[in-house]
């Protein structure tokens, strides 16, 4: 039986959650104060994911950088590939929140979307 202790990040409380793992199977999760802690620990130990945020270059906009994010979380192991895919990407103003900047980033099935409205200069 192996034990892994994680800090739950589902909310600012940051519970210390301990998972007991037996032969790759999670047998128990303790220390969480709500059910999100249980879900987080199981996911973090089997399929960790993150929302990735960065910026891309804007042409003809009021500002020169557009903040972007993955619409939903992607596998943690894909973070750097995702960032690399954004390098050199240029988008034209105007842009509004939610506009798709890059479809299906790195084959994750997740789009990169704008997180700010940028008017033309």
The binding site for other proteins (CB under 8 A) comprises 6-7, 9, 11-12, 14-15, 33, 50-55, 57, 63-65, 67, 69, 76, 79-80, 83, 97, 115-117
Alpha helices in 47-88 (DSSP H): 79-86
CB of residue 40 to other proteins, shortest distance in Å: 10
Q: What is the 3-state secondary structure (H, E, C) of 90-105?
A: EEECCECCCCEEECCH
Nearer to other proteins among residue 27 and residue 51 (C-beta): 51
CB of residue 118 to other proteins, shortest distance in Å: 10
DSSP label at 10? S
Nearer to other proteins among residue 22 and residue 72 (C-beta): 72
Nearest CA-CA partner of 99 in 119, 74, 116: 116
Alpha helices in the chain (DSSP H): 35-46, 79-86
d(CA 43, CA 63): 38
CB of residue 52 to other proteins, shortest distance in Å: 8
CB of residue 14 to other proteins, shortest distance in Å: 3
Nearer to other proteins among residue 21 and residue 83 (C-beta): 83
């Amino acid at each position: 039986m192996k034990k892994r202790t994680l800090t739950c990040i589902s909310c600012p409380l940051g519970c210390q959650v301990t998972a007991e793992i037996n032969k790759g199977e999670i047998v128990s999760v303790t220390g969480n104060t709500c059910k999100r802690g249980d879900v987080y620990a199981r996911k973090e130990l089997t399929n960790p994911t993150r929302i990735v945020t960065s910026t891309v270059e804007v042409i003809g906009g009021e500002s020169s950088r557009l903040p972007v994010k993955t619409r939903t979380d992607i596998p943690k192991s894909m973070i750097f590939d995702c960032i690399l895919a954004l390098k050199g990407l240029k988008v034209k103003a105007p842009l509004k929140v939610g506009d798709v900047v890059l479809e299906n980033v790195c084959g994750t099935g997740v789009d990169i979307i704008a997180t700010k409205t940028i008017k033309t200069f």
